[in-house]
Chain A
């Protein structure tokens, strides 16, 4: 049915967007990283299941930056081109904590429902 197709696709998008934010914030928790680094890490750690290309990754980074959750800064190192590194702001740390909780609750909720259906 066309309608449910649109519906599920939209749900997919919402989910992906919500989780993408969480992923980026998590990766920046321990150290600042540049965009290529972030994209590669997501791909590696998800064993290739999740992949962001340039066209979707950078707009997301810009959005998080605009919200004040991360901050980008050009860093030059000897012998390398300058790169834009992103780090987590204080606000971003708070959001990350909250989103982790929400995500846990969400996953638990999903699990409990899907678990129930199998029972």
Chain B
């Protein structure tokens, strides 16, 4: 008889168990082998054959040692299939998990749809806003070492301009006296009429110091930039073109360098073309010429019109630069008390300057989308929790069938991540569409707005957010589900932690949090909507309907003579007024709400000259007499300007009510006299003949300042350049006709900025509309998600209690009592959320005070209305499932287990 003990022991060599234990195992297995051997012999097999049959028992798929060892050492239950690596197993598991997860999601279309939409909204909004924030706030400016670039301003806080455009002489002194900047350059607006090639066109350009391009560290795409010699008066006129202008007007002509252009009737030689990405300072600048200060210009401290950019020396901080510039500013104040009294110097980073005041709005939006994403995650977590509860039987079954808990945990995670991935994909689509929509609302004056697009960083961000979301909301339910005590769960109707008290508390907590976060968002949106409505209802001081406007800037060399200009305007107004559909027409130096315009310091007859720094600054418009009628600006006292007010008659002025009130309080200003600057002769006095209503000249939400209007026939300090036409028909329909009329007078005269006044009005509040719209959308999404969340939790909670409700109903409970019970639970959660939300809103809304107009950040009406709204929505969301529960037949409910 073979020695079975020996055979077994041979195969168990290396088994690390106690000798006694090993002996028992060997004995037991050997007996089994012997039984097999004996039976084989009994059934007629030969000895050798019987032995082989017994030994076959040991030659199994797995070596005996491993199998026994696994049990003995309680080794991890990872199966290692012979001939296959562990990696393949992991991969196979993953594929199996994925397949299973897909099937589970596919089988529950309702759950999957709601969860994916909730996530997609959160992720989509996040990506869209992050794209904007990334482009506008985070992406470095396209210049060399952009963090060293700063803007330098005159600090004229006393006059209401903490960052005023400097005068040339101040710029020259700053440049020559500072030790903190490695370079400084000045920029001045300068527009050019391009003639001689195709239609005449008005081009937005800049006069810049030759040092500008090297200072920014940007090389031209073609040719070269300016030399220092070209930045001197009286040298040959040269120009550098923007890439866009070069493409648009010259078809990307590679031989453009060296060619000449006619700009403002003078000949300029093109020396270079900038690269496509280059823009400075604004995104619509089309060409640059040297600033070439004349000696007279370089000594002027009264014309404030420059923008100054400088580069910090390495190692110099913004604060150090500010300190030194303040010192220089103080020195200049002492040196030039007449012009520089109260004039400081302000330094801020170029980035801050370019990003402008959109920053708080964008940051608040970023916060808002974060909150929406949180709500979306809470919602999905809630859905998954409820589902985990429903699936507990399935889980118990799988555990009983030998599924390992880690595998189950991984299965849940796979499902969550898959869900998050779907959410991410749909979200990306939403983001793409959202960005297109968003793009059309981004105020045009944000210089980097044109570059906004979905980029890789954003893609990474979204992916991260969606994966993180999957982990966050997948883990909690998964851990809970796997913590099941299987013997408990398998009992019929057994309740475990997911369905039990802690699960209910967790879901309740999520709903409360959702409500709190939604409330904060809704209140924020409510405040913005409130502000916007107030802004919209401000009377701008004129009627914007049926007004067509366009810019007609007369080039200086050609129209330098006062008579030529006067003749042009008179002819233009007359011709346009005679067009069919036109009621009246007028010209003005600046249209209202364009955020720019001229001001003059005036002296009033019979009053002492104000000390430096306390001049009477008056917003001044040079107009043609029909302006008030055309704009429907009401006359309050005296008379309007007329065609009879000419060069040869008494100089007259119409003032605004604020100016009348401020400078002639309690008096009738009509008949009083004032002068622009110090009067040199009797002829310099200008008589007030009328008072008109205030017009919001700069911004709708800025209080009107003193204003005055002079006739273009009498005042020559500024040139009108805006034509405004009151029409009887749709104003846009007359645009082509009016432009043709201009060309009838001067075929080389460009016409630009053709807009209706309604458009200008809308644009002036575009930022506010933008913020309001976005936050409003987010708040709406938040409200929707919160309602879905409450509904989901209530549905689930009611479904769980169907049994209880059935008993109550069977015992004679009134429907209303049952409803109260169910809705009461929902409302308890909601009211807790509202209370927390209100506290948070009180703390958070002050962050947006700069975005508000006419409402305080803690506006009680907004807080109350929004809270009530949210409670109502929540009540409805919990009423519907509760109502359904009371409709259930008690018998069915009792059988519901």
Contacts and interface: CB of A to CB of B under 8 A. Distances in A.
Interface of A: 3, 6-7, 9-10, 13-15, 17-18, 21, 35-36, 39, 53-56, 58-59, 62-63, 66, 74, 81, 83-84, 94-95, 98-99, 101-102, 105-106
Interface string B384-414: 0000000001001100111100000000000
Given A10-B96, A18-B402, A105 B74 contact: no
A56 B66 CA distance: 11
Given A35-B28, A98-B486, 18 more contacts: A6-B88, A6-B92, A9-B81, A35-B32, A36-B35, A53-B58, A54-B32, A54-B33, A54-B58, A55-B57, A55-B64, A58-B29, A58-B68, A62-B68, A81-B31, A84-B28, A98-B487, A101-B490
Contacts of A21: 402
Contact of A94 (B33, B58, B401, B487): B487
B401 A14 contact: yes
A49 B581 CA distance: 99
Nearest to B71: A62
Contacts of A62: 68, 71-72
Range for the number of chain B residues in contact with chain A: 35 or more
Contact of B57 (A17, A54, A105): A54
A17 B33 CA distance: 23
Interface in B18-66: 24-25, 28-29, 31-33, 35-36, 56-64
29 contacts: A6-B84, A6-B92, A9-B81, A10-B96, A13-B79, A14-B403, A17-B402, A18-B402, A53-B58, A54-B29, A54-B60, A54-B64, A55-B59, A55-B60, A55-B64, A58-B25, A58-B28, A58-B32, A58-B67, A59-B71, A62-B68, A62-B72, A63-B71, A84-B24, A98-B487, A98-B490, A102-B397, A102-B401, A102-B490
B57 A53 contact: yes
Contacts of B95: 3, 7
Given A55-B59, A62-B72, A102-B401, A39 B32 contact: yes
A41 to B, nearest CB: 13
Contact of B31 (A9, A36, A55, A101): A36
Nearest to A106: B397
B92 A3 contact: yes
B70 interface: yes
A52 B487 CA distance: 28
Contact of B400 (A3, A6, A18, A63): A18
A2 to B, nearest CB: 9
Contacts of B96: 7, 10
A55 B490 contact: no
B71 A102 contact: no
B54 to A, nearest CB: 9
Nearest to B56: A53
Contacts, number: 94
A99 B401 CA distance: 8
B430 to A, nearest CB: 34
Interface in B475-489: 486-487
Interface string B62-99: 11100110111010000101001000110110011000
A59 B56 CA distance: 16
Contact of A98 (B24, B35, B400): B400
B50 to A, nearest CB: 15
Which residue of B61, B84, B397 has the most chain A CB atoms within 10 A of its CB atom? B397
A106 B401 contact: yes
Which residue of A6, A15, A81 has the most chain B CB atoms within 10 A of its CB atom? A6
A18 B88 CA distance: 23
Contacts of A94: 487
Contact of A14 (B60, B74, B397, B402): B402
B28 A53 contact: no
A17 B88 CA distance: 21
A105 B71 contact: no
Interface in B147-167: none
Contacts of B91: 3
Given A18-B400, A102-B397, A59 B68 contact: yes
B846 to A, nearest CB: 58
A56 B88 contact: no
A78 to B, nearest CB: 17
B92 A36 contact: no
Contacts of B401: 14-15, 18, 102, 106
A56 B59 CA distance: 10
A51 to B, nearest CB: 10
Nearest to A109: B397
Nearest to A105: B397
Contacts of B57: 53-55
A57 to B, nearest CB: 8
B847 to A, nearest CB: 54
Interface in B397-440: 397, 400-403
A40 to B, nearest CB: 8
B491 to A, nearest CB: 8
A98 B92 CA distance: 30
Contacts of B72: 62
Contacts of B61: 55-56
Interface string B487-509: 10010000000000000000000
Q: For the complex of A and B, list the 7 residue pairs with the smallest distance between their C-beta atoms, beginning with the closest.
A: A55-B60, A18-B401, A59-B67, A54-B57, A62-B71, A53-B57, A98-B490
A37 B32 CA distance: 9
Contacts of A74: 24
Contacts of A106: 397, 401
Contacts of A53: 56-58, 60
Contacts of B29: 54, 58
Contacts of A55: 57-64, 67
Contacts of A35: 28, 32
Contacts of B70: 59
A101 B401 CA distance: 11
B375 to A, nearest CB: 36
Contacts of B68: 58-59, 62
A107 to B, nearest CB: 11
A4 B143 CA distance: 56
Given A53-B57, A54-B32, A55-B59, A66 B74 contact: yes
Contacts of B59: 55
Given A54-B32, A95-B487, A102 B58 contact: no
A35 B74 CA distance: 21
A102 B396 contact: yes
A17 to B, nearest CB: 5
